[in-house]
Structures are given as C-alpha cells and as structure tokens.
Amino acid sequence: MDAKVRELLNQQINKEFYSAYLYLEFSNYFKAANLDGFANWYMIQAQEERDHAMLFYQYLQNNNETVTLEAIDKPVAEITCHMDVLKAGLKHEIYVTSLINDIYAAAYEVKDFRAMQFLDWFVKEQGEEETNANDLIAKMELFGSDPKSLYMLNQELGTRVYTAPSLVL
C-alpha cells in the first residue's frame, strides 16, 4: 500500500473516533436539556462513527498494514442553543466528507483500486450524513420555536435505532 494512502487511512481512524466523541458531547448537551430524542439521535451518530473507525482499522489490518492509534482530541464546539449543535454537526460532516475525498484522491493518484472500492461506501455514506444533518436543521427551523412541535420532533428523533453498516471488507 502506498505510504500516503496508509497514513491517511490511519489518520481517518482517529478522525472517526473524534467524530464519535463530538456526537457524544452533543448527546450530553441534549440530555441535559431534557430532549432525550435529540440525545438518542446523536448517541446513534456516535455509534456509527465508532463503527466507521473500526472499518478503517479492519481494512488496514486486512491489508497487512500496521494500525497506529493516536490520542483523541477533546470535542470542541461553541454551543449556546440547540441550533448551534445541529449546525456544528453539519459543519463537521462536511469536514469529514473532505477527508474521505482526500483519501480517495490519494488512492486514485496511485491507482489503488482496492482502496477506492473500499472508500466508495464512505463517499455514499457521507452524502447521506450531510443530507441527514441538513434535514435536521430544516426541521428545527420549521418547528423548533414552537414547544409542541419541538416535543414532536424530539419524539421522532427518539425512535431512531442503530443499524450497523453492512460493508464487506
């Protein structure tokens, strides 16, 4: 495996675990605000990010590459209201998309077709993540200022259940 591709894949493990930490922080925020549905939504986001990290981990191991784990930074997000959390989530997903695109570009440059095929799933996943974050912002803009509507949105988010990714490595 190309050294740059290996390095970027290793770094992505850390970035995915950071994403999980960030979403746990968001879940904590909403739990403290007694919005358990929102807390559930972000707890599931955290689970997804942990699984994403493990997919990168497993991919490197399956290709006989050494995995290097680094320290995970403390989540940083300025939160003064519910919408700040949602907007920070979208901003973070856009950032993660750029990271996946960078790895894909590095793999493309060296014709690492196996890595590109592996990354195809993440490209699609990031499109879904950005759409979900945008949809949540749109719903909050529509309903968030009305207590009854916020209650219903919170109930809706509370019904989300975790589904593990089905990616064959």
Domains (range + CATH), the chain: 3-158 (1.20.1260.10)
Q: Is the pLDDT of residue 94 over 90?
A: yes
Neighbours of 117 (CB within 10 A): 10
Whole-Å CA distances, 70 to 10, 14, 94, 150: 9, 6, 22, 39
Alpha carbons 90 and 84: distance in angstroms, whole number: 10
Q: Band of the pLDDT at 143, cuts 50, 70, 90?
A: confident
Going by pLDDT thresholds of 50, 70 and 90, the confidence category of residue 167 is low
